[in-house]
Amino acid sequence: MNRQVAALLFGTATLFIAGCAVQGRPFEKASAPPDNAVIYVYRPYHYGSSLLRPAVTCGEDSARIGPGGYHAFVVPSGHEKIVCSVEGAETGDQVEIDPQTRVYYIREEFGWGVLTGHPHLNPVDTDQAHTEILDCFWFRHSSPCVQEP
Amino acid sequence: MTFLNSANADSRIKLYSYDSSGPASDGSWAGKRGVVMRVTFLLTLLLAAAVAYGCSVQQPAVAPAVAQAPARPLPFKGRLAQGDASELPSAVAMSLSSTSSVTFSYREELTHDDYHVPLIVSAFDPVTYVGAPLGDLGVTAFASLSIVDGDKVLGDYTAKVHVSKSYSLYSEPTHKEVEQAARAAVREKIDQKLYRDADRLAQAIAGSGTLPSRAADK
């Protein structure tokens, strides 16, 4: 009886955890015209990941990225700095990116908040970002982040 | 024997007196115990609060560590060969001229080093809920400025500044704020280096036969 309950709980937990992860095509490099910057915003699926999906905006493009997802923003790079921002219910975060930058990686994370999680946009080095994007789910080894529309 | 008896009697008396005073002093003992418990509780609370606040990492404000000095132009002017005119150290920005033969090349680079306390640790740490830092956002700004006259390098300046700001459950800065603070601080450092070297630069430009650009602009 106890085994059956444990198995049921385990199955439900697995289904719950896997069910929260976003579905889509695995990570692939985006192509962009020469005068554009590509900004990859990805969100690794950690334990205790928040299910919040606030809109992330880079330039004029915006996307909602779920746990385990990424979005490639293709932004025209002029002379102005590119600003990526995310607004949570309590706080927000902003990152400025040099217009000369061709490829940039930002990790979206959620920290503790009083009532809801606080979104962070953390700029990440290319090497570290590649490693994290290719191993995006803590419960599925070597699974890359998946594309969010 | 008598002595022993008296001793026993004494002890009995003492015991008795202790027992006999029991019902009467129970209230006062309970009261005393209550006071002691309350004081202990208050002391524990105070100690916990002191530990909570005392152990929290005290971060300096985001303001740059370098003292702000009033900006003034350099004793010569130059043309911007590389860099964004709106993103320059004050001294360089105030000394720009499109006609000068002296050129400025300015470059800035930012690197980020954020630290976040793992959620599983902060969740069970009581100081989290008192406002202890949950991590910090760090930005290192590196800047380099070259001043060139023709093919002669008059000056090459570099500066590096690290700025970090912690965040808690109740307040947090944005990355942009920390980045801007780091940029401001590194520009201020470049400015200070330029001001210290301004006389030598002016002499070098005068010696190289380049028209003093201030005069040229006027």
**Strand A69-76 versus strand A146-147 pairing type:** parallel
DSSP bridge partners of A84:
A58, A95
Of residues A86, A128, A130, the one with CA closest to residue A109: A86
**Which residue is it, tokens 């002016």?**
B202
Q: Where does the pLDDT of residue B20 fall: very low under 50, low under 70, confident under 90, or very high at 90 and above? A: very low
Of residues B53, B100, B52, B106, the one with CA closest to residue B78: B100
Contact (CB, 8 A) for A86 and A64: no
Q: Where does the pLDDT of residue B69 fall: very low under 50, low under 70, confident under 90, or very high at 90 and above? A: low
**CA pair distance B154, B77, nearest whole angstrom:** 13
Give contacts of B175 with chain A, Cβ < 8 Å. Answer: 93-96, 120-123
Of residues B130, B116, B119, B111, the one with CA closest to residue B166: B116
**Strand A55-58 versus strand A61-64 pairing type:** antiparallel
For A123, the 3-state DSSP assignment is strand
How would you classify residue A68: left for phi > 0, otherwise alpha for psi between -120 and 50, otherwise beta?
left
Residue B176 near chain A (CB below 8 Å) = yes
Give contacts of A123 with chain B, Cβ < 8 Å. Answer: 110, 112, 175
- Contact between chains at B119 and A112 (C-beta distance less than 8 A): yes
Give contacts of B167 with chain A, Cβ < 8 Å. Answer: 111
Distance from CA of B34 to the nearest CA of A (A): 35
In the stretch 80-99 of chain B, residues with CB closer than 8 A to chain A read 84
Q: Where does the pLDDT of residue A141 fall: very low under 50, low under 70, confident under 90, or very high at 90 and above? A: confident
Contact (CB, 8 A) for A107 and A83: no
ipTM above 0.90, yes or no: no
Higher pLDDT, A107 or A137: A107
For domain B79-217, which architecture applies? Answer: 2-Layer Sandwich (3.30)
Alpha carbons within 13 angstroms on the beta-carbon side of residue A50 total 19
- Contact between chains at B170 and A114 (C-beta distance less than 8 A): yes
Give contacts of B135 with chain A, Cβ < 8 Å. Answer: 111
Closest residue on chain A to B183 (Cα): A96
Residue B135 near chain A (CB below 8 Å) = yes
- Contact between chains at A113 and B169 (C-beta distance less than 8 A): yes
Task: Break chain A into its structural domains and give their ranges.
Answer: 2-147
Closest residue on chain A to B135 (Cα): A111
Lowest mean pLDDT, pick from B46-50, B126-130, B162-166, B176-180 = B46-50
Distance from CA of A138 to the nearest CA of B (A): 14
For residue B91 the two structure tokens come to 């001294």
- pLDDT score for B4: 39
Name the phi and psi angles at B77, rounded to 5. -120, 160
For residue B3 the two structure tokens come to 């002595």
B194 to B201, B210, B212: CA distances (angstroms): 9, 19, 17
Higher pLDDT, A79 or A70: A70
Report the mean per-residue pLDDT for chain A.
83
CATH number of A2-147: 2.60.40
In what helix (H) or strand (E) does residue B104 lie, and over which residues does it extend? Answer: strand B102-112
Distance from CA of B164 to the nearest CA of A (A): 14
Q: What is the mean pLDDT of residues B152-173?
A: 92
Task: Break chain B into its structural domains and give their ranges.
Answer: 1-55, 79-217
Closest Cβ opposite residue A94 in set B108, B116, B176: B176
- pLDDT score for B8: 42
- Contact between chains at B179 and A96 (C-beta distance less than 8 A): yes
pLDDT in tens, A4-31: 767 666 555 554 555 566 677 888 888 8
pLDDT in tens, A26-75: 888 888 888 889 999 999 987 655 678 899 999 888 999 989 999 999 99
- Contact between chains at B176 and A47 (C-beta distance less than 8 A): no
- pLDDT score for B151: 85
Give contacts of A132 with chain B, Cβ < 8 Å. Answer: none
Contact (CB, 8 A) for B95 and B74: yes
